Structure 1
């Protein structure tokens, strides 16, 4: 039978309609295939453009796969949290709802359905916290928390849940006691111990079988060990394991390794690490590494320590650590006995950047109070911060607090001595100098006495004297209006939670 041209055209339209309907109603899926895995690993190395190319290929080959929408969010997350650029935030913020809408089109019977949406919400919450958009961030964290909790109930064997819940539970547990009631009232629950155990479960799972999120979990676990658990050695153990990414070929791994080296007093290792950073067009810009390299060179009293710091303040368009970078440049010129340049750079601490971090707050405070650091004690501080303890101790040899005129310098002297003896494992002398620091300095706004109390508590905790440890953790928290208050309180709070359970 021969069809007329009109009927042929009608059949063609019908077939086209059917094919379009099949495409429209095709089942959306969550598949972490080869392209998606490569894209994810590229994102985690901060090769964002390379990751996007893998995602484009996946969308071309598997247009019904929703996983690219989830993985692509990592690009925005890293770009915004590292660069802190408000213009980029305005440009990229609309991507959140687009991705959530796409991911909500997947099957509710998949463990990825709620997990991917929770991750997008959680990542954007951390972005909005960085930009001081606390109201938005709260609702995103609440949404992510509820989604993860529900997903854990539905799919208790879905390991990825523990990666994200571990982070959230640990952060909830670190909330200061004065705000605990609010967290509970708003439906949040969790402890530091619970969160760390969940993250450890993921790492143990990764030891038994290759697991996609092992690397990301290691980053989270290492960071929490350092920032909340006050256990930098464990953080260093993690980033120096054989299966940790090569820091010379992975920019995020480079940052993690260098940062943990600093916290472990391995200043030369940190300088070597940051100097080996893979900085080229394959990777996104990471100006914070210039800042950290400059800080490390300051600790070593290098003659060119100003170079990476100047590069940072010139190229970084973000918000945090600018005041601190200007303060360190001011210190650099003070050590060169150039007071004109010291005052020039210190003046910027009043006007540039924000005061979200403790170090930026302290930098502004120095600029406003007009108290110039004692050059001798400044050199001791930098040397000690770099982990050059023998050199720092030799600098203090033959000195006493009576050699200094101001009360601030007298308090700082005993504090510096205590910290050096602590690192040298002469704990009896360390505790003695810390007690002198507390007795003399607890009524002053300097951080010396508060941190002396914290470090004393950590020593007592290590010695299994939990009653004394708790006493000094409380002393630390009780000191008000001191520099680095947020950081000190969070560490003391975590310490109290540990010793009160023993």
Structure 2
């Protein structure tokens, strides 16, 4: 079921990972209740269409990733009001959050059973907009869990059921903004699946539409309701990932973090957004200032992100410690190959050849290749092509936003007749990325073009990424015809390490040009 594998990759890929792994599992962003918002009704909602004050407090704890506290509050609410939709959503969401964050497969069946029990409890409740919304959310969570943990046929059916439920909710409760939010998320994510797999999703009755999805999300983000901040975050992250609206996402997450410094999810999002922006210093500041304590669910992936950021800065020993902590705490199979590859880089660049070789050998011994980073690490082992120190250091510096030092490092690279083709293609691509980061767009265009011309049909990501970036440059300059040609060119390349994410971004960009 290759299409479900693509959906699974999409659930794990790129900067949108923060939204997909964390936001849907705690489908809320409610603020602390006060005397005004407890009495609020909007869009002709009744009190039964909103979270109760107790459920809102539980949601606040869940959003902060204090899952134990959230579950305790939800259980208290359920004892007092059996079948409370908001409390059922918190109780289910807390377990789902822990499953998705820990990636602990031993907990999978327990969570699925809890979701089934929550759905059965909801079926016994009177129909309200909130009750139907919660049913749709839990079905969507179940689909995500099944696809993530490899139960792809079950996941496909659950995804179809969830989407049909959300569509039915939108018809039955028109204008109910929480449902508009979820409808928009489903439409956008399904619409961004590569064209080669559209037939399968159409067969399931899952017609995605990125533009319609984004518009629904914007509607839910612009008007007040219990879940408005979640919709705002989703819009910001989607626009950053697919439309280059970087500062918009950074500003929103910075504001949320200031308002709730004890919110671990917001620290995660701030770190992820700043890492995507190539602001290593700012991303590490979120990491170092994250709230800690026994009430928070452990998020091992934070240490893996920190290891990358420290590697960008050349702090090799600190990067090694962070990735070793990630590997010791993490229970999943994803990002393990990438962690061992980054350990290899840290040891190799610091001159410890023996530890570097031990790390290289570990890459093939465990983990999975669903995630693009893991596929890249495994390909490094399989291809047996030695890395260039200047190119590797320059790549890391560029990823951290250290563009001028990267250009100086690239000047150390000297191609000879024995230089592998991959290195000869990477050098102009890295120069283009550095110049692009410095907003020297004429130089960036020149080197992206050189990379594309020299690449031909070579099976590396440098040419398709160059075409994608040229498309963005032309789009920003208002050159729509040229942008369209470059985005189509990015889609035209065959298999390469980052084809899934590159194709998804190019597809969304093309849709935005219409």
Same fold (TM over 0.5): yes
Q: Give the drift of 1:198.
A: 1.0
Counterpart of 2:315 (choices 277, 302, 320) is 302
What does 1:240-251 correspond to in 2, within 5 Å?
A: 240-241=254-255, 243-244=256-257, 246=259, 248-251=261-264
Within 5 Å, which residues of 2 pair with 1:97-496? 97-108=116-127, 110-206=128-224, 211-241=225-255, 243-244=256-257, 246=259, 248-303=261-316, 304-397=318-411, 405-496=419-510
Count of residue pairs brought into register by the alignment: 466
Range moving further from structure 2, 49-58 or 243-252: 243-252
Q: Which runs of structure 1 show a deviation greater than 6 angstroms over 4 or more consecutive aligned residues?
A: none
Cα distance in 1 for residues equivalent to 2:401 and 2:66 = 32
Could you tell me how far 1:214 is from its partner in structure 2? 2.0
Q: Find the aligned partners of 1:64 and 1:92 in 2 and give their Cα distance.
A: 18
Q: How far apart, in 2, do the equivalents of 1:224 and 1:358 lie? A: 19
The alignment status of 1:84 with 2:103, answered yes or no, reads yes
- Out of 57, 66, 81, which is 1:38 matched to? 57
Assess if the C-alpha contact under 8 Å between 2:55 and 2:77 holds in 1. yes
Which residue of structure 2 aligns with residue 52 of structure 1? 71
SS in 2 for 1:356: coil
Check whether the contact 1:167–1:195 (CA below 8 A) recurs between aligned residues. yes
Matched with 2:19 is none
The CA distance in 2 between the partners of 1:97 and 1:31, in whole Å, is 23
CA–CA separation in structure 2 for the residues paired with 1:51 and 1:352: 34
Partner Cα distance (2:334, 2:259) in 1: 28
CA distance in 2 between counterparts of 1:204 and 1:246 reads 19
CA drift of 1:172 comes to: 1.9
Q: Distance in 2 between matches of 1:31 and 1:61?
A: 17
Q: What is the CA distance between 1:231 and its match in structure 2?
A: 3.2
Is 1:69 aligned to 2:103, yes or no?
no
1:390 alignment partner, SS class? helix
Between structure 1 and structure 2, the one with the greater Rg is 1
Give CA deviations for 1:109-150 in whole Å, capped at 9, x if unaligned. x11232111100101111122212211111111111111111
Say whether residues 1:93 and 2:107 are aligned partners: no
Structure 1 Cα separation of the partners of residues 371 and 258 of structure 2: 29
* Long gaps (5+) in structure 2: 1-47
State the shift of 1:400 in Å.
6.4
- 8 Å Cα contact 1:251/1:278 also seen in 2: yes
Give me the whole-angstrom Cα distance separating, in 2, the residues matched to 1:367 and 1:337: 19
Change (3 A) 1:354 1:247: farther
Farther-moved stretch of structure 1 (273-282 vs 262-271): 273-282
Question: 8 Å contact 1:55–1:68 — kept in the other structure?
Answer: yes
CA contact (8 A) 1:401 1:414 kept: no
Contact between 2:335 and 2:374, CA under 8 Å: does it hold in 1? yes
> Residues 83 and 122 of structure 2 are in contact (CA less than 8 Å); yes or no, is this contact kept in structure 1?
no
Q: Deviations 1:64-122 (Å, cap 9, x if unpaired)?
A: 534311221111221111111110113322111100000011112x1123211110010
- Tell me: CA distance 1:366–1:390, structure 2 relative to 1, closer, same or farther (3 Å): same
Farther-moved stretch of structure 1 (480-489 vs 225-234): 225-234
Shift of 1:191: 1.4
Q: Larger relative contact order (C-alpha < 8 A, sep ≥ 6)?
A: 2
SS of the equivalent of 1:284 reads coil
CA shift for structure 1 position 425: 1.1
Q: Conserved in 2, the CA contact under 8 Å of 1:119 and 1:144? A: yes
Give the superposition deviation at 1:452: 0.8
- Report if the CA contact (8 A) 1:320-1:353 is conserved: yes
Distance in 1 separating the partners of 2:85 and 2:412 = 68
Change (3 A) 1:400 1:459: farther
Cα-to-partner distance string for 1:14-68 (whole Å, 9 max, x where unaligned): xxxxxxxxxxxxxxx7762111101111111110011112112212332353431
Instruction: Assess, with a 3 A threshold, how the Cα gap between structure 1 residues 252 and 442 changes in structure 2: closer, same or farther.
Output: farther
